[in-house]
Amino acid sequence: MKAARLKELGVPAGIGVDAALGGVKQAMKSGQTVEDVEQAILAVVDAPKLLTEDEVWGNLARTIVRVTEARARFSGRDEAAPWQQWGDNFEPAAIDQMAQACKLPISVAGALMPDAHVGYGLPIGGVLATDNAVIPYAVGVDIACRMKLSVLDLLVPDIVAYQEDLIEALEKETRFGTGCTFKPGRQHEVMDDPAWEEIPILRKHHNKAAKQLGTSGGGNHFVEFGVLEVLSEDLGIGRGKYVAMLSHSGSRGTGEKVAKHYSALARQLHPELPEELSHLAWLDMDSPEGREYWQAMELMGRYSAANHELIHKHVVDHLGCEVLAGVENHHNFAWKEAHKGREVVVHRKGATPATNGVLGVIPGSMATSGFVVRGKGNEEGLNSASHGAGRAMSRVEAERRFTWAEANEFLKKKKVHLVSGGLDEVPMAYKDIEAVMAAQEDLVEQVARFEPRLVKMAPSGKVSSRRRKERQQRKRK
DNA sequence: ATGTGC
């Protein structure tokens, strides 16, 4: 049974739905039909106080009572925290999510970046400063998702001349797709961090995390080679054209488990939040839960950095070249920063840190420009910028609307060789990166422009997992 | 962005 149906039946969103799903599972196991289950849920919703001791539905009944009482006591704030947007090419729902986030009692200020689109709780491209509280879903599911660019001592024509070697390096030295691992795993001292032992959710996933070190994952993640046109002296290598390698990856499966674990915990601690705020449940920074999340989040930060470090090290070693310069940054993370003289927690969910003088990387798409940028320290913009061009449509919509014939035409025109990737990631599915950059001229300065030439991404998710299953089934036979 | 239980 889906969450939407449970809400139709009157189950409160968030922990109400969580509790209901538990009951549904139990009832279905004991052989009840969907109709029986729906009747039972209606009865609980109608009179939860009568059913708090019920064997199957007691937890749902108690949760509804708790949520109802807490929400009755909750009163929103009189005035939302101030926020501004950069650009005007947004879905109304993304703007609404930003506005809702600023109504949280803990919110201090917000900023919506020009690549923003709808996400869980806070939009992707949303920045939120809070007072002594951290919101797991305002950091994002892929905690510490990160960009890393290395300038290599190759010549621009080498991208074509040594194309086969570059492809081989990508194929052998990282992995793509949901659930991908290295066997045997890559080695890195980040795996010896004491936090893996101290925090149960980390201990549980330590093994998987070890196997996923150095992998790139799926979705919009990629590793690519391209031409970097350096426009300023910031990188310390002089102006001109260079070959660079750019990777986009994060904390893989472990980060997701951490995000979901603490978000569920935060929701349990905040039954008072109305439905539209329920995905924005927070943890107090002074509470044991908040401190533990922060510790886990920071480890995910070091883990993600190690991930990129290994990808670059192994690819560079494979090619036998040298690294001349580099830039890297998280774009799903939270930081303790000063805002207008006050210490706040700044959540950047799909947003690049852009404190004055700080360098960052903003990718476009597989066949449009990316940028190395220098922050301008715009205080109203919460020292942030976009983390890319931003999706112009959903993945499903992109798969429906475009064909590979069109996409290949685009790639050919831009001289991009796509080793693998999904139709849901084609450039036409993204907003215009030039317009996005123009909308944030007061947030960042352009330091270099990057043109992708040789790109590897995960092949389209659903297809590959179906094929994997079919292969496994064939093996069994 | 990510897998997991059927």
- Give me the DSSP letters along A299-353: HHHHHHHHHHHHHHHHHHHHHT--EEEEEEEESEEEEEEEETTEEEEEEEESEEE
Banded model confidence at residue A474, pLDDT cuts 50, 70, 90:
very low
Confidence (pLDDT) at A461: 52
Reported as type and span, the H/E element at residue A384 is strand A384-386
Decide which of A300 and A459 is more confident.
A300
User: Distance in angstroms, CA of A34 to C1' of B1?
Assistant: 31
Can you read off the two tokens belonging to residue A62? 């108690």
* Bond prior to A136 in cis (omega within 30° of 0): no
Decide which of A3 and A191 is more confident.
A191
**pLDDT 10s digits, A120-179:** 999 999 999 999 999 999 999 999 999 999 999 999 999 999 999 999 999 999 999 999
User: Distance in angstroms, CA of A241 to C1' of B3?
Assistant: 41
What order of strands is seen across the sheet that includes strand A342-349? Answer: A83-85, A107-117, A124-130, A342-349, A332-339
Q: For chain A, what is the mean pLDDT?
A: 94
- Residue type for position A328: E
Query: What is the rounded distance in angstroms from the CA atom of residue A242 to the CA atom of residue A134?
Result: 40
Mean pLDDT over A61-90 rounds to: 93
| Confidence check: pLDDT of A96 > 50 | yes
User: Distance in angstroms, CA of A24 to C1' of B4?
Assistant: 18
Reported as type and span, the H/E element at residue A339 is strand A332-339
Confidence (pLDDT) at A463: 45
**pLDDT 10s digits, A305-358:** 999 999 999 999 999 999 999 999 999 999 999 999 999 999 999 999 999 999
Which positions 159-198 on chain A have a beta carbon less than 7 angstroms from any atom of strand B?
178-180
Helices and strands of chain A, counted as H and E runs: 16, 17
Query: In DSSP terms, which residues pair with A362 in a beta bridge?
Result: A371
* Pick from A386, A385, A68, A129: nearest CA to A282: A129
| Confidence check: pLDDT of A246 > 80 | yes
CB neighbour class for A399 (10 Å; exposed up to 12, middle 13-18, buried from 19): middle
Closest nucleotide relative to residue A395's CA, C1' based: B1
Q: Which residue's CA is nearest to the C1' of nucleotide B3? A: A179
| Confidence check: pLDDT of A468 > 70 | no
A387 part of the active site: yes
Please identify which residue in the block is written with the tokens 């499903």.
Answer: A396
- Per-residue flag: A462 CB under 7 A of strand B: yes
- Per-residue flag: A253 CB under 7 A of strand B: yes
Confidence (pLDDT) at A475: 45
* Pick from A73, A8, A63: nearest CA to A268: A63
* Percent residues over pLDDT 90 in chain A: 85
Closest nucleotide relative to residue A209's CA, C1' based: B2
Q: Which residues lie below 8 Å from residue A220, measured CB to CB, with a gap of 6+?
A: A248, A388, A425, A457
Can you read off the two tokens belonging to residue A129? 């400063």
User: Distance in angstroms, CA of A99 to C1' of B6?
Assistant: 40
| Confidence check: pLDDT of A477 > 70 | no
Query: What is the rounded distance in angstroms from the CA atom of residue A321 to the CA atom of residue A165?
Result: 12
Query: What is the rounded distance in angstroms from the CA atom of residue A415 to the CA atom of residue A471?
Result: 34
User: Distance in angstroms, CA of A410 to C1' of B3?
Assistant: 32
Q: Which of A330, A347, A387, A417 is catalytic?
A: A387
Confidence (pLDDT) at A2: 80
Confidence (pLDDT) at A194: 96
User: Distance in angstroms, CA of A184 to C1' of B6?
Assistant: 29
Closest nucleotide relative to residue A257's CA, C1' based: B2
| B strand bases under 7 Å from protein CB | 1-6
Confidence (pLDDT) at A34: 87
- Per-residue flag: A304 CB under 7 A of strand B: no
User: Distance in angstroms, CA of A50 to C1' of B1?
Assistant: 41
A2-6, A167-171, A373-377: least confidently modelled range = A2-6
| Confidence check: pLDDT of A467 > 70 | no
| Confidence check: pLDDT of A476 > 50 | no
- Per-residue flag: A141 CB under 7 A of strand B: yes
Q: Which residue's CA is nearest to the C1' of nucleotide B2? A: A253
Closest nucleotide relative to residue A425's CA, C1' based: B1
* Model confidence, pTM: 0.93
Mean pLDDT over A377-399 rounds to: 95
Please say whether the dihedral angle defined by the alpha carbons of residues A405, A406, A407 and A412, taken in this order, is positive or negative.
positive
- Per-residue flag: A145 CB under 7 A of strand B: yes
User: Distance in angstroms, CA of A7 to C1' of B4?
Assistant: 24
Please identify which residue in the block is written with the tokens 């929400």.
Answer: A71
- Per-residue flag: A337 CB under 7 A of strand B: no
- Per-residue flag: A220 CB under 7 A of strand B: yes
- Per-residue flag: A121 CB under 7 A of strand B: no
Can you read off the two tokens belonging to residue A268? 């349990």
Alpha-carbon Rg of chain A, whole angstroms?
A: 23
Closest nucleotide relative to residue A391's CA, C1' based: B1
Q: Which residues lie below 8 Å from residue A191, measured CB to CB, with a gap of 6+?
A: A206, A209, A210, A213
Mean pLDDT over A404-414 rounds to: 96
Banded model confidence at residue A54, pLDDT cuts 50, 70, 90:
very high
